[in-house]
Amino acid sequence: MEITRVAVLGAGTMGHGIAQVFAQVGKYDVNIRDVEQRFIDNGMSMINDSLSRFVKKGMLDEKESVATLNRIHATLDLEGAVKDADLVIEAVTENPTLKQAVLTDVGRYAPPHAIIASNTSSISITDIGASTDRPEKVCGMHFFNPPQLMKLLEIIRGSLTSDETINTVKEVSIRIGKQPVFVNKDSPGFIVNRILIPAINEAVYLLAEGIAERDDIDKACELGLNWPMGPLKLLDYIGIDTGLFITEVIFNKTRDSKYRPNNLLKQMVRENLLGRKTGKGFYEWPVKTP
């Protein structure tokens, strides 16, 4: 099956970057849809900023930057966004009920041949696929932040996902410059988060129990484990609320104590200390003003 037109649902942190990658690297025509104009405007502004940085660094010329923007079509209309799409990528908030509702509507409006992929970082692809009329055409495409720079893409198979769907998504992922890895059995957290979350969670325990200070915990992982960024700073980048959600999803599914989230994470979310997105988490961050 050939993919010629792509729809990305959600213009937020991940959605705008995914749309940019498909338009810039894959040279696809992309519809990007969100529920409010302000989300669309913010997403398109972030795409413009990203492309400008690529141009300044000499990684993209101005002509191709303009061509990329011309391939991206923003809309508030879900039906219009997906009605001609060959591949629909859902990148809405990490909420199972919301994702299932969106995919139910996508199944109603998208053409029968269209593949539906979710950018979820932890939610069951089987559960998401069950909300559509085509579970064999549903899979996970888990991009990493920022999608414009991170090469890894997890491709996740649901219990009913067909080989044709996986093979098509593999071909697409290579065209957009990603290096795919395959999750053959639908499992909470997939590959990266199954490994990463216990490490991040343990770093929070070290801090909460007063065993080590923030900077020393991060420095230890950067210098001792060769991580490019320490786990507490990484949580601030991911969003502490997102990190907590992923941890709870994996823990609730596995009941394995190594995934039990530390109470400090819950407290920080209650206090809206979410990291870079709110200006303060484990670190303080400059907040962009409109």
Per-residue pLDDT tens digits for 167-199 = 999 999 999 999 999 999 998 899 999 999 999
Active site residue 131: no
CB proximity list for 161: less than 8 A, separation 6 or greater: 125, 129, 135, 136, 137, 138, 139
Query: Of these residues, 31, 118, 121, 124, which one is catalytic?
Result: 121
Confidence class of residue 93 from pLDDT cuts 50, 70 and 90? confident
41 and 95 fall within a common domain: yes
Confidence class of residue 288 from pLDDT cuts 50, 70 and 90? low
Q: Of the candidates 183, 212, 243, which is a domain's last residue?
A: 183
Residue 38, judged by CB atoms within 10 A of its CB (0-12, 13-18, 19+), counts as exposed
Distances (CA, A) of 172 to 9, 50, 89: 18, 22, 12
Query: Of these residues, 50, 124, 193, 262, which one is catalytic?
Result: 193
Q: Within a domain: residue 155?
A: yes
pLDDT digits (tens, 9 = 90+) for 210-249: 999 999 999 999 999 999 999 999 999 989 998 999 999 9
Q: Of the candidates 159, 183, 207, which is a domain's last residue?
A: 183
Q: Tokens 């991040």, residue?
A: 200
Q: Answer whether 34's CB lies under 8 Å from 159's CB.
A: no
Active site residue 95: no
223 and 170 fall within a common domain: no
> What is the total residue count of the chain?
290
For the chain, what is the domain count?
2
The Cα–Cα gap between 261 and 45 comes to: 35
Q: Within a domain: residue 40?
A: yes
Active site residue 16: no
Q: Is the pLDDT of residue 81 over 50?
A: yes
Averaged pLDDT for residues 76-86: 97
199 and 173 fall within a common domain: no
Q: State pTM to two decimals.
A: 0.90
Q: Is the pLDDT of residue 289 over 60?
A: no
Give the pLDDT confidence score for residue 290 in this predicted structure.
Answer: 43
Domain that holds residue 258: 194-270
pLDDT digits (tens, 9 = 90+) for 105-144: 999 999 999 999 999 988 899 999 999 999 999 999 999 9
pLDDT digits (tens, 9 = 90+) for 30-57: 999 999 999 999 999 999 999 999 999 9
Q: Within a domain: residue 134?
A: yes
36 and 152 fall within a common domain: yes
Both tokens assigned to 159: 């219990």
Query: Of these residues, 142, 173, 201, 262, which one is catalytic?
Result: 142
Query: Of these residues, 154, 173, 201, 262, which one is catalytic?
Result: 154
Q: Within a domain: residue 128?
A: yes
Active site residue 202: no
